[in-house]
Structure formats: structure tokens, C-alpha cells
Structure 1
């Protein structure tokens, strides 16, 4: 079990430290008590404990700062909670929900099916021989949509490759085409653009973007489904793209045009 979820005291201690981090250095224990749902006396006791553990430094009366050790502990606990939440939503609840897939052959409701990702979309094949399986909830002919629930296993899928091309904003000069970009765009499954200049560079390279908004999120979702992605972004928007890719745990390359 995640440490901060082991018991109420651990969870409250975590929340008190979060409130201190958010309000530092001037810390009003009454406000923290109201936010967390405990008494001011309890908050005072938690703060003393956090100071003793070197998670918090007391600078003066009602003035506290979270130490580096405290920040590291918050990050660790927050990461553990996030992983636990992902497990609940994806592994536990995910197996209970119903999703749609394309049937690769005739399927009847109640059949066990093997699941796979093709062209970024979920496909169901009669039989349970694959690493990921489910149970059909509807009848479907080959090529039709079938409902699937009771998910088990993990779909064997390698993430797609992502290349981020950075282009200069308009203040640095007019966009121009690139042979390298043209070749990369033709080979990619998905081409995304972030910024007007990015769209202009793609057009000048005889390439058409599939999406022109939320490029980082789209790239992360597509690559997570096994698709190769090219993203063209202005230098001032490239950070948003790479942040989304890092948050999704995906590798990527960055090239300048």
C-alpha cells in the first residue's frame, strides 16, 4: 500500500506538509486546520513532528519552510499516489468498463477475444490466445464495431518514435521548406503542428499536418498507441510539446530546422 494511504495519520501528515509548502513562509495553523479538517492543536502537533523529521524548518513564530528533504518526501509520496491511482483506474476499473473495438472476424456476445492495437485503434480477434484478452458484449461481423469488457493482460505494443522539429518564430524571418522535414512527414503516421509558423513550414515542405492544436498531447497519445509521430513546433511552443511527452514517459528526438 502507498505509505500516505496506510492510515489516516500518514495521509493527514502529507496534507499538512502540502499546505505548508503552498503557504510558506507565513503559515496560519488555523487555515491549515480548516483546509485539512483537523483541529489547530493537531496541526501544531503535526508541524512539530515534521520539524523533528527535518521535513520543515522553523524560522520564527508562525514562519516555516519545507526543507529539501521535505520536498523530496512530498515528490516521492505524490508519485506513489499517482501510480496507485493509475493502477486503480487502468487495471482495476479498466477491466470493468466497456470499450469498443473493430472485429477482425465474426464475433458473438460472450466470446473471449484477443485484443491488439492496429493503426492506433483497438481490434478484437476471436479466441483468447493473445497477451491481452476481453469478453465481447455484442455480436459483430468482420470489420464492424464490437463492445468489449472484462479486460485482462497487457497489449504487447512498442511505443512509436517521436521527432520534434523546432522552427523559429516569425520575428526571426519567414518560414521556409525543408527536405528533411518533408521526408520525415511522409514516413510518419501522424504529423502535428504547434504554431502558425509550424503549419507554414509544413506546407512549404509539401506536407499537411493532421492536427494543429494540442500537439504535445496528440503526439503522446499517438506514440503511446504505437504510431510514429512528427511534431513541428515554434521554439516558444516546443517546451509544451516535450513536457507532454515526458509526462507520458515517452522518448523523443529534437531537431532544429
Structure 2
């Protein structure tokens, strides 16, 4: 730390210490507006009080980074410009590092390992029961003379045994799977009969063919429980139905009449097919 209070450990000091970050911004504002500089304008621009700006300016002037040229007139000195340039260059290098080395590696998905997977392994990807699976292909690749396996591949960034969650990145190709379908059964509101107006036999048949049973609304929960089972999902159902079907699951949506529109609108944003089935009791 230099005598004027500015951090002297490199550009990251501007990020580590609030005071240095504030002084950096003050110097930028002065350089942009000089020589006529209003402390109030600087304060408003960087979100601190005019009194705080005045205190920082006093310390920056004492440190030789700013020259006072009269009331409301300041100029960044050569030392101040050099400090700004050095910190800006270091910040630029740091941002380049974040962009290329950090954010460039952020796109990591999670898959379940089919067999042992080691970090750095090339894996094939498949979608089963709505979950991404990863299978190591290094051995089979070698046996086939290095030919590319079909479908999507990726590189494992963590290790795991069969059934463990592993991170995968550097995707190549598209995971080959079919979208699910949504079958909606509308349950009337309680004043119109509620769950007792739905044919439990028909509902049971539809549930048997579904990968996921979702109940939206209390009457819908009661209808599913008439089958001696609980729904798989009963909260956040609009997002759950859309996500599950996009991941290849066939969904039975048992939904109170007033909530159907929200679910349909959610599905219209996707390529998922859906139908509304009449499962009401006959007269």
C-alpha cells in the first residue's frame, strides 16, 4: 500500500479494496470532466456522498495523483494517469483471464455415469428417464480404430463410479432422444364436483402409461390419491411439466380447470405435443 492509501499490489487491488475501487472511479470521472469538476456530479455518478468524494480528493491530491486548480477545478496528474493506465491494463488482463479461462469452462452439464468414468475421458451421452447419462468410450474407440462414436460426445471434467454424478463439457453432436408427450386430464373445481367427477378407472389407465404423474391443484391431488398413490409432482407444475417432457418423459397432467391455461401456454413455447383427455364420469 503506497503512502497515499492506494493499493500497491497490482490491479486486483482495485477489486479487493472498496477504497481503491472508489478512487479509481473518481480519477476516471475527473479525467473525463476536467478541469471543471463538480464533487456532486462525481458523487452522483459513482453512488457515494459528496463529503466522501471530498475526502478522497484530498487524499489523492496529497498523494500527487490530482492537482487542485481552484474551487471545483481538478486535474489528474501524470502520476495519476500512469496509475489509472497500469490498473486498467491489469484489470483488462484479469478480465481476459475470466472470459477465456474461467467462463470458457463454465458450460458444464451433469450426467450419471454408466460405468466408471475418469476425468478427461471421452464419453458418449444419452438421455434415459429424463436424465443425461455418460458412458466412457475410450476403450471401444481404440478397438474401432479411433472412429467417432455416434450421437453426442463430451469430455468428463470429474471422475465417478457407475451411478455417480459426473461433470461433462466440450460437447460434440446432439443427444438423440424423443421428446415426451403430455396428456392433460381436467378436474372440475370443488363446486362442480371436484375429484369425484373424474372416472378413477380411466385415470388409472392413463397413469399406467405415464412416466410422471403431475397434480396441479388440490382437487387434482385428491383425484390422483383416489388411485391409492401420490402424485410425483404437485408444486411448480408448469415448469415441471415443460422440463420433464422436454427431457423425453411422458407426463400425465391432472389439473384443476382454472390452471389448465397456464400449463398449455407453457407447453406452447416448446415442441412438445399435448392433448386434453376427457376422463369425466358418465351420466
Cα distance in 2 between the residues matched to 1:210 and 1:242: 19
* TM-score normalised per structure 2: 0.55
Residues matched between the structures, number? 165
* Pair 130,95 (structure 1): closer, same or farther in 2 beyond 3 Å: farther
Q: What secondary structure sits across from 2:258 in the alignment? A: coil
Which of 202, 205, 221 aligns to 1:180? It is: 202
Q: What secondary structure sits across from 1:179 in the alignment? A: helix
Superposed counterparts of 1:75-224, under 5 Å: 97-127=107-137, 129-176=149-196, 177-224=199-246
Q: Using the TM superposition, give the Cα deviation of residue 96 of structure 1 relative to its aligned residue in structure 2, in angstroms.
A: 5.3
Superposed counterparts of 1:10-49, under 5 Å: none
Task: Give deviations 1:130-188, integer Å, cap 9, x for gaps.
Answer: 31111011222222222111112111010112100011101112422521111111221
Question: Which of the pair has more CA radius of gyration?
Answer: 2
Cα distance in 2 between the residues matched to 1:130 and 1:245: 30
* Pair 218,174 (structure 1): closer, same or farther in 2 beyond 3 Å: closer
Cα distance in 2 between the residues matched to 1:254 and 1:207: 22
Cα distance in 1 between the residues matched to 2:230 and 2:158: 38
* Pair 104,111 (structure 1): closer, same or farther in 2 beyond 3 Å: same
Runs of 4+ residues over 4 Å off in structure 1: 93-96
Structure 1 unaligned segments of length 5 or more: list them: 1-92
Whether the aligned pair in 2 keeps the contact of 1:95 and 1:151 (CA below 8 Å) is no
Whether the aligned pair in 1 keeps the contact of 2:211 and 2:251 (CA below 8 Å) is yes
* TM-score normalised per structure 1: 0.60
Task: Give deviations 1:63-94, integer Å, cap 9, x for gaps.
Answer: xxxxxxxxxxxxxxxxxxxxxxxxxxxxxx99
Which of 225, 239, 246 aligns to 2:247? It is: 225
* Pair 248,167 (structure 1): closer, same or farther in 2 beyond 3 Å: same
Cα distance in 1 between the residues matched to 2:121 and 2:232: 36
Give the match for residue 240 of structure 1: 262
Q: Using the TM superposition, give the Cα deviation of residue 222 of structure 1 relative to its aligned residue in structure 2, in angstroms.
A: 0.6
